[in-house]
Amino acid sequence: MRKSIDLIGDIAIIKFHNFYPFLFKKIYAYFFLKKHKEIKTILEKTTDIKGRLRRFKTKFLAGENKRETIHKENYCSFYLNVEETYFSPRLAHERFLTAEEISKEIKQNSKILVMFAGVSPYPIVLAKFLKNKGIKAKIISSELNKKACVYGKKNVLLNKVQNYVEILQGDSRKIKTKEKFDIILMPRPNLKETFIDSILKYGKRGTLIYYHGFGVKEKVLKEVRNKRLKIIYIRKAGDIAPKKWRWLIKMKIL
Ligand SMILES: C[S@@+](CC[C@H](N)C(=O)[O-])C[C@H]1O[C@@H](n2cnc3c(N)ncnc32)[C@H](O)[C@@H]1O
């Protein structure tokens, strides 16, 4: 009947098989809404995630006709617009694992760069972890999408981590900084470009990198092959389609 469903805040986004008529989708949405009292809006996902900003289009099916919501995960809240800003609720566990691991490795006053940060879920989940442990750090949250940065700024205040996170709007490859970071997170878009050269520019000897790669494991290992990068481990970090994986590679700059 339906291919997939994502619950983002109080919005349900449903992807149907193509052959169902619109009226059927409306009726399905109506009953879905009746059954799930916490959901206020049902949208149909009408395109795949596309372009540099990784966005998709939707069609309104039932409830309140809106695209903006607040999503809660890992004791954090995120304002976002489901059509204008990338956000995947499926990455919640991954954000937890990454934040937990970094919070064990990190030293006081470390400098952290989160590239491709979207509405800032990685920086904020990490900042909350560090704040709870009493560890001070400076986290730069870099994102190209102007609207995502507006939400990011709101989210920093909403989660009371303004002493930790600074939002920088612009291309993550061209950040105007002389800073050399201790930790770099790259939850990068699933595009051909790997952005590997940028991490060497922002890092120094000993910098830890958390890099996302997509597809076959061998291909991902090949794209990070560089004599200045030592791979510490590679593990699955969720799927992007049936039997297609996102990988997390932890590396160190030599
Ligand atoms: C896969 S999404 C990850 C978003 C976020 N890390 C999250 O977990 O929700 C990739 C993000 O990279 C952004 N992006 C694409 N190219 C970029 C670039 N050159 N510089 C900065 N951000 C970019 C997109 O707008 C998108 O928000």
Q: Assess whether 151 and 119 both reside in one domain.
A: yes
Q: Assess whether 99 and 152 both reside in one domain.
A: yes
Number of domains in the chain: 2
Q: Assess whether 111 and 159 both reside in one domain.
A: yes
Tell me if 122 CB under 6 Å of ligand 1.
yes
Tell me if 91 CB under 6 Å of ligand 1.
yes
Q: Assess whether 172 and 235 both reside in one domain.
A: yes
Q: Assess whether 28 and 108 both reside in one domain.
A: no
Q: Assess whether 44 and 97 both reside in one domain.
A: no
Tell me if 86 CB under 6 Å of ligand 1.
yes
- Tell me what pLDDT residue 197 has: 85
pTM of the model: 0.95
- Tell me what pLDDT residue 199 has: 85
Q: Assess whether 44 and 166 both reside in one domain.
A: no
- Tell me what pLDDT residue 124 has: 98
User: The CATH number of the domain where 7 resides is what?
Assistant: 3.30.300.110
- Tell me what pLDDT residue 18 has: 80
DSSP string, the chain: -EEEEEEETTEEEEEE-TTS-HHHHHHHHHHHHHH-TT--EEEEE-S--BTTTTB--EEEEEES---EEEEEETTEEEEEETTTS---GGGHHHHHHHHHHHHHH--TTEEEEESS-TTSHHHHHHHHHHHHHT--EEEEEEES-HHHHHHHHHHHHHTT-TTTEEEEES-GGG-------SEEEE---SSS---HHHHHHH--TT-EEEEEEES-HHHHHHHT--TTEEEEEEEEEEEEETTEEEEEEEEEE-
- Domain span at residue 49 reads 2-66
pLDDT of the chain along its 254 residues, tens only?
Answer: 667 899 999 999 999 988 889 999 999 999 999 999 999 999 999 999 999 999 999 999 999 999 999 999 999 999 999 999 999 999 999 999 999 999 988 999 999 999 999 999 999 999 999 999 999 999 999 999 999 999 999 999 999 999 999 999 999 999 999 999 999 999 999 998 989 888 899 999 999 999 999 999 999 999 999 999 999 999 999 888 878 899 999 999 99
